[in-house]
A = this chain, B = another copy of it.
């Protein structure tokens, strides 16, 4: 009865724990994949929104002296809309980032637990998976950071121009930038002048 003998050890406490440990690594890998996918997608959407805002600022800058105040106001409405959209996408990616970081932690823990339970191969697989997604996320994050840096430089240009313009126009009639509250404008940009 060699078949029965071979099946017996599969029911030992040790092998049951090992199997359960593998189940955990399998599920944490699915969780890690889904959260990585969601974070990459949402971070990419956010990056696109930042670039949209950059190009709107640039268009506005190129038109600034060629349009009347109502046209300017219309462009600013579009810019404000784009800022709101960017903020919304930022909140979304931050939510997915929290999920992703949790998934990384739980995967690390699953790798340790699997190793302790004797499931060495499953442990190694999870560790490789973690490294892979960390690389993917870092690359995606870099693109977002570049877009943010571009936006910051365009906005600071904008503010400089607006301040120069403000000196030449009477107060109250000023450019629509003055309608932006301090809250909307990061401190770093205000310090630029």
- Tell me whether A109 and B106 are in contact in the complex, defined as CB-CB below 8 angstroms, given that A35-B17, A38-B17, A41-B13 are known contacts: yes
| Interface residues as binary, A23-48 with B (CB distance below 8 Å gives 1, 0 otherwise) | 11011101101110110011000000
Of the four ranges (under 10, 10 to 19, 20 to 34, 35 or more), the interface on chain A belongs to 20 to 34
Residues of B within 8 A of A42 (CB): 13
Q: Which B residue's beta carbon lies closest to that of A25?
A: B27
> Does A20 sit at the interface, judged by CB under 8 A?
yes
Number of copies: 2
Residues of B within 8 A of A41 (CB): 13
In chain A, residues 99-116, which have Cβ atoms closer than 8 Å to a Cβ of chain B?
99, 102-103, 105-106, 109-110, 112-113, 116
Residues of B within 8 A of A98 (CB): 116
Contact in complex: A106, B113 (CB < 8 Å): yes
CB distance from A46 to the nearest CB of B (A): 13
CA distance A98 to B113 in the complex (A): 9
- Tell me whether A30 and B20 are in contact in the complex, defined as CB-CB below 8 angstroms, given that A96-B13, A99-B116, A113-B103 are known contacts: yes
Residues of B within 8 A of A26 (CB): 27
> Does A16 sit at the interface, judged by CB under 8 A?
yes
CA distance A40 to B80 in the complex (A): 63
Contact in complex: B24, A31 (CB < 8 Å): yes
CA distance A37 to B19 in the complex (A): 14
CB distance from A148 to the nearest CB of B (A): 22
Residues of B within 8 A of A13 (CB): 34, 37-38, 41-42, 96
| 13 pairs, A vs B, C-beta closer than 8 Å | A13-B42, A17-B31, A17-B34, A20-B31, A24-B24, A27-B27, A98-B116, A99-B117, A102-B109, A105-B109, A106-B106, A106-B113, A109-B109
A interface vs B, CB < 8 Å?
A: 13-14, 16-17, 19-21, 23-24, 26-28, 30-31, 33-35, 37-38, 41-42, 96, 98-99, 102-103, 105-106, 109-110, 112-113, 116-117
